[in-house]
Structure 1
Amino acid sequence: MKSTTLKNKLIIAFTGLFLCFFLVIHLLGNLQLFLPEDQAREQFNWYSNALSGNILIKIISWVLYLSLIGHAVYALIITTKNNTANGKNYHYDKRNFSSAWNSRNMGILGTILLIFLIIHFKDFWYTYKFTNLPVDAAGHKDLYEVVVQSYSQLWYVILYEISFIALGFHLLHGFFSASRTLGLYHPKYVKAIKIFGWGYTLIITAGFMAIPLYIHFK
């Protein structure tokens, strides 16, 4: 049982770390949206087209999809086992006195992120891949216009902001949990790990939160 639990935690840790790496790349690509409008449209559409036509990116995309599925499935398995261990549920114990709010509510945070991902993939990935979008001056599908139209709606911006806050809490707990699972949370390095974890979480969360706000209010 312990070996199975450890295996599940290792899968969650490795898939989570890969997703953390992907978030950095994704954010860097999306920073083009802060450029002046004409330049942002040209570069963002070129970037989107380049990604969709690159075989290496396609392979990484499949790794991403598998990582998302594996991360969610194994997190659900561990949560279910924990909730039923010894016939007790989490809401009957006293973990709230010794653990952070986000660590006790990873199920809620994960559910918010799952709903967000479904909406995000449907409105951007599916729209780009399987619908007839207009093209820009260079002949590339105009995904930039889809982004602008989406973030012009206040309710949509609010939805994304809530989701990114949930992502921040999820990342903070997940980063420290993965470091413990992988044996990296050593007393000698705990301060550095905490600084890196907080820094990474704040940069990623603030970066993604800024994009919808900038586009909506510019």
Structure 2
Amino acid sequence: MSKSQHLLSSSLGKKLIMSLTGLFLCTFLVVHLIGNLQLFYNDQGKAFNDYAHFMTHFTPIRIVSYLLYTSIVVHAVYALVLAIQNRKARPVGYAVFRGSANSAWSSRNMGILGTVLLVFIVTHMSNFWWKYHNDGVPYVEYRTDLATQQTTVTELLAAEYSDYVKYVDNDIEILKTKDLYKQVQFTFKSWYLVLFYVIAMAALSFHLIHGFKSAFQTLGFDHRKYAPIIRFLGIWVFGVAIPIGFAIMPLYFYFSN
């Protein structure tokens, strides 16, 4: 076995892979949140539907999306493997006692938090990604007068064209596309789904507060010079701002429907 293979199969190697995939997923969260903020535009979903089409049809982003799916699977699998190895390596009674005394709650419960997030990802993708790619969402037509910028919206019963058509006719911009915005409105009418999303974002908060700092420690960025910056980003950006930003969306649609 080569040194690189030995490293990747070792506990340290698994933690390195966990750290790299975790930080990549953190980057995705930032981009995803910025894109989803278009849900709050007062344009009946036009900007968000444009964004959804771009994210699913622009080739470089589609390639990155496969890297994202792979990262989620690898991160989850390696987390499970490390958890099993750690449990086998330490007596249960000792681990519980020592963990309760010397580690944060989020550190001791990363397995539970990760499981909640994995269930959330499956639920989220089945509600939106799967339906969007398998004609499970309605279609919509936007007609925007370019002179007055007034837009009229018409729900289409079915697509008699490709899933996205945009053109100008007599100073009227016409956009026909899949209406993922309407799917968001429909999904977040269910109180139990909204509650689950909020709980999942709370789990994400605790998961990131511990995981963000741990990832940089594993990569060797544990010098006191970088610690305050990493701690600030881990707690206030990834542990507070991003989960709250995502949690506001289902709450907004539930109470505004």
The answer to whether residue 228 in structure 2 is matched with residue 191 in structure 1 is yes
SS at match of 2:176: coil
Counterpart of 1:112 in structure 2 is 116
SS at match of 1:140: strand
Counterpart of 1:160 in structure 2 is 197
Q: Aligned equivalents of 1:34 and 1:69: distance in 2?
A: 31
Q: Aligned equivalents of 2:94 and 2:215: distance in 1?
A: 21
1:107-166 C-alpha deviation (Å, 9 max, x unpaired): 100111111111111110000001243211121101000000111111111010000000
The answer to whether residue 97 in structure 2 is matched with residue 60 in structure 1 is no
Higher relative contact order, chain-length normalized (CA < 8 Å, sep 6+): 1
One-letter amino acid of the counterpart of residue 32, structure 2: H
Query: 1:72–1:132: structure 2 CA closer, same or farther, 3 Å change rule?
Result: closer
One-letter amino acid of the counterpart of residue 197, structure 2: Y
What does 1:61-210 align with in structure 2 at a 5 Å threshold? 61-88=65-92, 92-137=96-141, 138-201=175-238, 202-210=240-248
One-letter amino acid of the counterpart of residue 19, structure 1: L
Instruction: Normalising by structure 1, report the TM-score.
Output: 0.94
SS at match of 1:136: strand
Query: 1:216–1:140: structure 2 CA closer, same or farther, 3 Å change rule?
Result: same
Give the number of equivalent residue pairs. 216
Q: CA RMSD in A?
A: 1.7
Instruction: Normalising by structure 2, report the TM-score.
Output: 0.80
| 36, 61, 74: which one aligns with 1:30 | 36
State, as a whole percentage, how many aligned pairs show the same letter.
43
The answer to whether residue 223 in structure 2 is matched with residue 217 in structure 1 is no
Contact 2:132 2:180 (C-alpha < 8 Å) held by counterparts: yes
One-letter amino acid of the counterpart of residue 25, structure 1: V
Q: Aligned equivalents of 1:97 and 1:45: distance in 2?
A: 49
Going by fraction, where is strand more abundant, 1 or 2?
A: 2
1:73-108 C-alpha deviation (Å, 9 max, x unpaired): 111111110011045467544211110000000110
Structure 2 residue ranges without an equivalent (≥5) = 1-6, 142-174
Q: Aligned equivalents of 1:73 and 1:35: distance in 2?
A: 38
Contact 1:13 1:178 (C-alpha < 8 Å) held by counterparts: yes
Compute the displacement of 1:216 (Å). Answer: 1.1
One-letter amino acid of the counterpart of residue 32, structure 1: Q
Q: Which runs of 4+ in 1 moved over 3 A?
A: 86-93
Compute the displacement of 1:189 (Å). Answer: 2.1
Going by fraction, where is helix more abundant, 1 or 2?
A: 1
